[in-house]
Structures are given as structure tokens and as C-alpha cells.
Amino acid sequence: MNLILFIHNANNLKAELEQYRELHSAEILEALYIEYTYDSNRIEGNTLTLRETDLVIHKDLTIGGKPMNEHLEAINHYEAIRFIHDLVTSSEPFNKRNLLAIHTLILHGLDRDNAGCFRQVPVMISGSQHTPPQPWQVDKLMEDYR
């Protein structure tokens, strides 16, 4: 009798857990988008707090004393992450067009001349031993990417 009661309780708890997962998975994913946006922008020097990042994205607020480019960085990163999620959950292959679309989203309203284009100048990554390809190589490397 105890084993039957145990199995019944375990099945009820499992059903409750599954219901909770279904109800809250979108909320959890949304929280991850906000935290990822905040962390990524903070690494690049953005001074918005996690709460301010959430307010900028979800409430369309501007934060007094913060530069407009920091607001745009948060909004753009968030939109790019959503776009990437949509790509991953669809059958759409990752390709040059999608990469440049992500780049366009990231730089929207921040750098019109370079948004959606491969870089035209050499770059180095501070503190890294990796040397990125020269600008003239990037387009060909992306064409060869499969």
C-alpha cells in the first residue's frame, strides 16, 4: 500500500513540475535574455544596471543621466538575441545573410555606415593570442563557410 501511495504522489509531483515548466519557461527564457544583454553590454563598458536594462527593454523608458547609445546597445542586443533564438528554432540555416542581419540589429541607430557590413579595417583583440583575419579575407571566408 505504501508503494502505491508513493507512486501516486510521485506521479502527481511530476505532473505539477511539468505544468510549472510549461507555464514559466517563456518567463525564464526572457529573464535569461535580459541578463545576457546586461552582461554582454557591461563587458563593453555600458553602465546600465540589470534593472535599468530591463526597464529600457520592457518599458521603453530612458534612464536619466545615461547616454542614448547605452539604451540603444541594450535594445539592439536584446533584439539580436531574439533573432538568433528564432533562427535556432527554425530550419533556417546560419549563413552570411543572417550574420549580417544580426550585425545590422546590433548597430541599429549606432553606426549606420557599418551596420550590416563586414569590417574594412584590421582589428586586434586585446589580451588574446588569436589574430582575426584581415578585412579583405572576411568576405571570402564567409563564402567558404558551410
Which tens digit of pLDDT belongs to each residue from 97-142?
999 999 999 999 999 999 999 999 999 998 999 999 999 999 899 8
What mean pLDDT is predicted for residues 1-8?
A: 75
Say what the pLDDT of residue 11 is. 85
Distance of CA 6 to the CA centre of its chain: 43
- Per-residue pLDDT tens for 29-84? 899 999 999 999 999 999 999 999 999 999 999 999 999 999 999 999 999 999 99
Are the beta carbons of 142 and 118 closer than 8 angstroms? yes
Say what the pLDDT of residue 108 is. 97
At 22, the pLDDT band (50, 70, 90 cuts) reads low
Q: Give the residue from 90, 126, 138, 83 showing the smallest Cα distance to 106.
A: 83
Q: How far apart are CA 105 and CA 91, in angstroms?
A: 21
Average pLDDT, the chain: 91
Find the helix packing angle between 135-144 and 96-107, rounded to 10°: 130
Helices (H), the chain: 2-43, 50-59, 68-89, 96-107, 135-144
Say what the pLDDT of residue 1 is. 55
On the 0-12 / 13-18 / 19+ scale of CB atoms within 10 A, 99 is middle
Q: Set out the domains of the chain in order of their start, with CATH numbers.
A: 2-119 (1.10.3290.10)
Are the beta carbons of 100 and 117 closer than 8 angstroms? yes
Percentage of the chain surpassing pLDDT 90? 70
More confident call, 2 vs 42: 42
Are the beta carbons of 96 and 146 closer than 8 angstroms? no
Rg (CA), the chain: 22
More confident call, 65 vs 18: 65
Say what the pLDDT of residue 23 is. 65
